[in-house]
Amino acid sequence: MSNIAGKVVGITGASSGIGEATALLLAEHGAKVVLGARRLDRLEALAARIRGAGGEVAYVRTDARRRDDLSNLVRLACERYGKLDVLVNNAGVMPISPLDDLRVEDWDEMIDVNIKGVLYGIAAALPVFRQQGFGHFVNTASTAGQKTVPNQSVYSGTKFAVRAISEGLRQEAGDKLRVTIISPGYTRTEGVTNLEMKAQLVESQARFAMPPDAIARAIVFAIEQPADIDVNEIVVRPTAQG
């Protein structure tokens, strides 16, 4: 993983799950990680863990719903380390429910975090990448962005949007910037808030869900490629997932 060492990687949603696993794996291989999430206490604990293992880390409280917070995350990376090689737009929520429940506030939150959060990350990092002449967006989508199922239609719609935005960005990016879509299948996650749906998902997770580090390895694989190789999309599912 010689192409990982020294890279500066910003990660949203870094306080748990895929974001936390990605931060730990990248730091282990010599990346300088810049962490953003809403839960500052979790960020502090993760940063201490990374520093304790000899890694380099910075962090700032980041709410993906706030454009200024994404700008602050990118600014921290540039001020602390002089550049930003990669932004992992990973923050996401999954308050799934039947449309009949009319959980409009949940719909709004998914749109704000899952779609607008990715756009705010792009808005913050793209000018920096253009000025540097290099950069890499890694955007977390989902297998729900490829197939819609009952109770997940709004969540699925947000992940279809992430894939569309990412592919459009890739086509516009030119030959200096890279764009990767990561589409996880069932993964052990904290993103589900609807208690009834959460109970069903926890049962599925207990049977065959992947640990978050399975996705972290896919992200690291995309990042470690030479600059002239752009891994456009990686779909990672448990073998048992239909």
DSSP letters for 108-135:
HHHIIIIIIHHHHHHHHHHHHHHHHT-E
Distance CA 77, CA 11 (A): 10
The two tokens of residue 150 are 């009952």
Residue-averaged pLDDT of the chain: 93
Q: Which residues contact 2 (CB under 8 A, 6 or more apart)?
A: none
User: What are the boundaries of each domain within the chain?
Assistant: 8-236
Instruction: Report the pLDDT value the prediction gives residue 106, as an integer from 0 to 100.
Output: 96
102 in helix, strand or coil? coil
Which range has the worst mean pLDDT, 44-48, 64-68, 149-153? 149-153
Mean pLDDT, residues 106-114: 97
- Return the axis-axis angle of helices 17-28 and 40-52, rounded to nearest 10°: 20
The domain 8-236 is classified under which CATH number: 3.30.830.10, 3.40.350.10, 3.40.640.10, 3.40.50.720? 3.40.50.720
Mean pLDDT, residues 163-190: 94
Mean pLDDT, residues 17-35: 98
Task: Give the residue among 216, 225, 235, 177 at the shortest CA–CA distance from 27.
Answer: 216
Exposure string of 195-214, with b = 16+ CB inside 10 Å and e = fewer, is eebbeebeeebeeebbebbb
Residue with tokens 């995309």: 222
Catalytic center residues: 155
SS3 breakdown of the chain: % helix, strand, coil, rounded to 5? 50, 15, 30
Mean pLDDT, residues 41-66: 98
Distance CA 131, CA 137 (A): 15
Which strand (E) or helix (H) includes residue 136? strand 135-140
Distance CA 127, CA 116 (A): 17
Q: Which residues contact 68 (CB under 8 A, 6 or more apart)?
A: none
Chain segment 84-103, per-residue pLDDT in tens:
999 999 999 999 899 999 99
Q: In the predicted model, is pLDDT for residue 142 greater than 80?
A: yes
Instruction: Report the pLDDT value the prediction gives residue 172, as an integer from 0 to 100.
Output: 97
DSSP state of 187: B
Instruction: Report the pLDDT value the prediction gives residue 98, as an integer from 0 to 100.
Output: 93
Q: In the predicted model, is pLDDT for residue 2 greater than 80?
A: no
